[in-house]
């Protein structure tokens, strides 16, 4: 079994796709107007409209309803990436900080309120 992707359901595909294109510096592929994918060498972030899960009825994921998942990106330099993105971020949760276990992290919310973590491992673990 291969892990394929994480999909975020959103009411505004264009806005969220532009946001994650800026974060990842990757251009999304758009196989359909209701769906986008940002493929990196190690993972894929999919972005879909509610139409992509409509057949699930009342059990479909709801846009902006995430309170339990953190979308994480491993980066070489948290401070540099955070500085690059800072002016585009509306909700910074944690400025670049060294965590008790040694990772350097910066956390913010995407336009739909999903929590995003840019992190770097300590040099000995990298």
* The pLDDT value given to residue 126: 53
pLDDT in tens, 15-69: 999 999 999 999 999 999 999 999 999 999 999 999 999 999 999 999 988 889 9
The tokens for 2 are: 């291969």
Confidence of residue 76 (pLDDT cuts 50, 70, 90): very high
The whole-angstrom distance between residue 71's C-alpha and the CA centroid of its chain comes to 5
What is the reported pLDDT for 33? Answer: 96
Q: Please report, for the chain, the start and end positions of each structural domain, with discontinuous segments joined by +.
A: 1-58, 66-126
In degrees and rounded to multiples of 5, residue 87 shows phi and psi of -70, -15
Dist CA 30 CA 34 (whole Å): 8
Instruction: Evaluate whether the domain defined by 1-58 bears CATH number 3.30.720.120.
Output: yes
Q: Identify the architecture of domain 66-126 in CATH.
A: Roll (3.10)
Q: What is the token pair recorded at 37?
A: 């994918």
H-run or E-run covering 35: strand 35-39
Straight-line distance from the first to the last Cα atom of the chain, in angstroms, rounded to the nearest whole number:
26
């Amino acid at each position: 079994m291969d892990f394929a992707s994480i999909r975020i359901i959103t009411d505004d595909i264009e806005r969220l796709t532009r946001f994650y294109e800026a974060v990842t510096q990757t251009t999304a592929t758009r196989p359909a107007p209701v769906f986008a994918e940002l493929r990196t060498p190690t993972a894929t972030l999919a972005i879909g409209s509610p139409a992509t899960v409509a057949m699930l009825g009342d059990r479909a994921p709801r846009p902006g309803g995430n309170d339990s998942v953190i979308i994480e990106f491993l980066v070489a330099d948290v401070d540099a990436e955070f500085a690059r993105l800072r002016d585009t971020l509306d909700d910074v949760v944690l400025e670049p900080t060294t965590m008790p276990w040694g990772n350097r992290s910066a956390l913010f919310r995407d336009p739909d309120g999903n929590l995003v973590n840019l992190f770097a491992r300590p040099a000995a673990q990298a």
